[in-house]
Amino acid sequence: MTKKKATTKQPKFEPRAHPDAQLTKKQIKELYDKLISERARVEEGLGVHLSDAISDVDPLSDEMDVAQRHTEQAYLMRFADKERKLLVQISTALEKLHDGEYGVCEGTGEPISFKRLELRPWTRYSVEYKEQVERERKQHHR
């Protein structure tokens, strides 16, 4: 009599969109893969930019070199901050794929078009809602 080995296999994660999102399994997988790829790219860039920003200035540099270096550091820190914010958006989108809440506009609850998600898979709003918000913002600034 042979004994079967018990395996403790983790169930495979399958990204899920909101039922109202109108996305196929193939589209969901494509968007998930894009998010994973973009997250890796942004994390790498963030590390490089932060490393460059905090590297030491040559103590023998003249004042012009030091001023130029400070300008570069400020730019790199702003760029790194934008990358950090993008990482937060990507992480939120991945959480939504994990929870089955991905693909619907946070403002209206309507589906976000696949074309929009293809361009920005971390987007939280439909084009229509985003345009409405922008119009309202412009009206309040007048």
Q: Find where tokens 């969109």 sit.
A: 17
Per-residue pLDDT band for 100 (boundaries 50, 70, 90) equals very high
Instruction: With cut-offs at 50, 70 and 90, classify the pLDDT of residue 45.
Output: confident
66-84: average pLDDT: 86
Answer whether residue 13 is part of any domain.
no
**14 lies in some domain:** no
Domain that holds residue 71: 21-140
For range 52-56, the mean pLDDT: 74
Q: What is the pLDDT of residue 111?
A: 96
Q: Is residue 124 part of a domain?
A: yes
Segment 26-44 shows an average pLDDT of 95
The pLDDT of residue 56 is 66
| Torsion (CA) 134, 135, 137, 142 in degrees, nearest 10 | 140
Residue 92 belongs to domain with CATH number: 1.20.120.910
Candidate from 61-70, 86-95, 133-142 with smallest mean pLDDT: 61-70
Q: How many domains does the chain have?
A: 1
> How confident is residue 93, by pLDDT bands cut at 50, 70 and 90?
very high
Task: Determine the pLDDT at residue 63.
Answer: 77
Has residue 107 been placed in a domain? yes
Q: Would residue 129 count as lying in a domain? A: yes
pLDDT of residue 74: 87
Residue 2 covered by a domain: no
Query: Is residue 1 assigned to a domain?
Result: no
Residue 35 lies in a domain: yes
Contacts 24+ apart (CB under 8 A), 25-33: 27/114, 27/117, 28/97, 28/102, 28/103, 30/118, 31/97, 31/102, 31/117, 31/118, 31/121, 32/94, 32/97
